[in-house]
Structure 1
Amino acid sequence: MLPVVLLHGSRTSATMWRRQLRALDAAGIPALAPDLPGHGTRRGVRFGLDDAVAAVRSAVDDVGGRALVVGLSLGGYVAIEHRARHPEQCAGLVAASCCTSPDTPLRAAWLRIARRIERWPDSGARLNEALVRSTLDADSVHDLAAGGFALDAMGDILEAMAQVDARAALAASDSPVRLVNGQWDHFRGHERSMLAAARSGGADARIVVVPRARHLVSLDAPVAFTRAVLEAHAAVSAGRAAGAAVGSR
């Protein structure tokens, strides 16, 4: 059975995937959700893109060396970069909530804001709590909070994102790609050009839009998001089986 590796978003941790991990386990699919540098159990380590990709590589090795890699927001960008650097490990990609290219001029403004908030006495803890509680249900809040919030990681993340050329990375490999976005996600601005980039590399690439969901689509609409992951897993697994059958003739 093809394993799944799940990569969390910025300032969160692996605990955001609890519902997806339960569903994958129920389906008999092995899955692993690592913490990226600067987050969860690794909050003592500063975030860096190379280290983040290395963490994904290690996680895929831990589940057998090849996996369907699922990432949301920051995790999506890291998953895209991992697929480009280590195509032999990525049987397929589900990149969620990451369809704004990191080269957007807004990134510099976001970085200035993030560094300012990190200098607040509470590093933005009260603001973060208010945003989380006002936008998510109680189960999602509980899952997010369980791993703690990396309130001091955002500046490093935004600086690291300057190294990512998402379109070029998507074009660098031909494994299947699903770009999954909430209908009301503000990070959908470049989904068509990112889709085209993935297809230019030979990938079977598609966009999946989850109705009435926002940026944290896996938490906003956990059932619909999990269904999208399971469907991607089935499609990738079927393609691998067909390829193996052709190769054995």
Structure 2
Amino acid sequence: MVARPGPVPVPVVLVHGSRTSATMWRRQLETLGRAGVPAVATDLPGHGSRRGEPFTLDGAVAAVRRDVDALGGRALVVGLSLGGYVAIEHRARHPEQSAGLVAAACCTVTSSVLRPAWLSLARWIEGWPDHGARLNDTFVRLALDAEGAGDLAAGGFALTAMAQVLRELGPTDTLRALAEASSPVWLVNGRYDHFRTQERAFVAAARAGGADARLVVVPHARHLVSLDAPVAFSRVLLEAGDVVASTVRAG
């Protein structure tokens, strides 16, 4: 491991998307490790090593809080899709733990008018004999390269968690939560992500709370931006880490 020059690095906590697990962050963990940045990937309730548990937003935020505590009590928290919403909520509830936030693939409010349709679809698919395993495997093969697909699959898929996730996130006010803290925010989306619909509103909400908020759009990438464009995404993490480390040192 070769330490990077400059300020002492701020630890990073990585939070996965729905139905996936901590293994989706393998390449980012390798990059952060080579750079000398302490990092851990969290398994949320109902996912990965915690499949079989019910997913709750309170339990998800508590999982992030525990991992931040284990890394010294303050961290750059990075989340994708579901993980992004959880990371936003963690920052709002525990601002003292947030050195910064990278929220990826989550620039649509969870109260979207499409939510009832998503919930109905999730319940229907989860009721299939295989809970949608064949459909999920087909999507993964078509969407990602072999390494990305392997990383995503390594922790197993939580095929019956999506309806729980949608029920738990539905009542949350993501824009309000973004305005509840002032640590710096990076909103990262793939160019072709269908969850980009409210980027400007998300940036404005973060700035309303006093945050330095930045929008990063990764060319050619889709919803699973950290797997679709792992090098570009890891570069954003390293740059964000440098910014928060410098801020901590200056403070």
TM range (shorter): over 0.9
Q: 1:38 aligns with which of 26, 46, 53?
A: 46
**CA-to-partner distance for each residue in 1:7-56, whole Å, 9 max, x for gaps?**
00000000000000000000000000010000000001010000000001
TM-score by length of 2: 0.96
In the alignment, what sits opposite 1:246? none
In the alignment, what sits opposite 1:204? 212
In 1, distance between residues paired with 2:175 and 2:132?
32
In the alignment, what sits opposite 2:117? 109
1:159 matched to 2:161: no
**CA-to-partner distance for each residue in 1:127-161, whole Å, 9 max, x for gaps?**
00000001100000110110000000000000011
Matches within 5 A, 1:81-100: 81-100=89-108
1:229 matched to 2:237: yes
**CA-to-partner distance for each residue in 1:101-149, whole Å, 9 max, x for gaps?**
1010101100000001000000000000000001100000110110000
Structure 1 consecutive aligned stretches of length 4 or more whose deviation exceeds 4 Å? none
In 2, distance between residues paired with 1:213 and 1:166?
24
In the alignment, what sits opposite 2:57? 49
In the alignment, what sits opposite 2:157? 149
In 2, distance between residues paired with 1:76 and 1:236?
18
1:217 matched to 2:225: yes
Aligned AA (1:143)? D
In the alignment, what sits opposite 1:119? 127
Aligned AA (1:205)? A
SS of alignment partner, residue 99 of structure 2: strand
Aligned AA (1:101)? V
**CA-to-partner distance for each residue in 1:172-209, whole Å, 9 max, x for gaps?**
00000000000000000011001000000000001001
In the alignment, what sits opposite 1:185? 193
* Cα deviation, residue 163, structure 1: 2.6
Aligned AA (1:169)? A
In the alignment, what sits opposite 2:22? 14
Give unpaired runs (5+ residues) of structure 2.
Answer: 1-8
In 2, distance between residues paired with 1:207 and 1:34?
24
In 2, distance between residues paired with 1:154 and 1:224?
28
In 2, distance between residues paired with 1:66 and 1:197?
22
**CA-to-partner distance for each residue in 1:71-105, whole Å, 9 max, x for gaps?**
00000000000000000001100000000110101
TM-score by length of 1: 0.97
In the alignment, what sits opposite 2:148? 140
Aligned AA (2:43)? D
* Cα deviation, residue 239, structure 1: 1.2
RMSD: 0.5
Percent of aligned pairs with the same residue? Answer: 67
Aligned AA (1:17)? W
In the alignment, what sits opposite 1:72? 80
* Cα deviation, residue 241, structure 1: 1.2
In 2, distance between residues paired with 1:44 and 1:35?
12
Aligned AA (1:114)? A
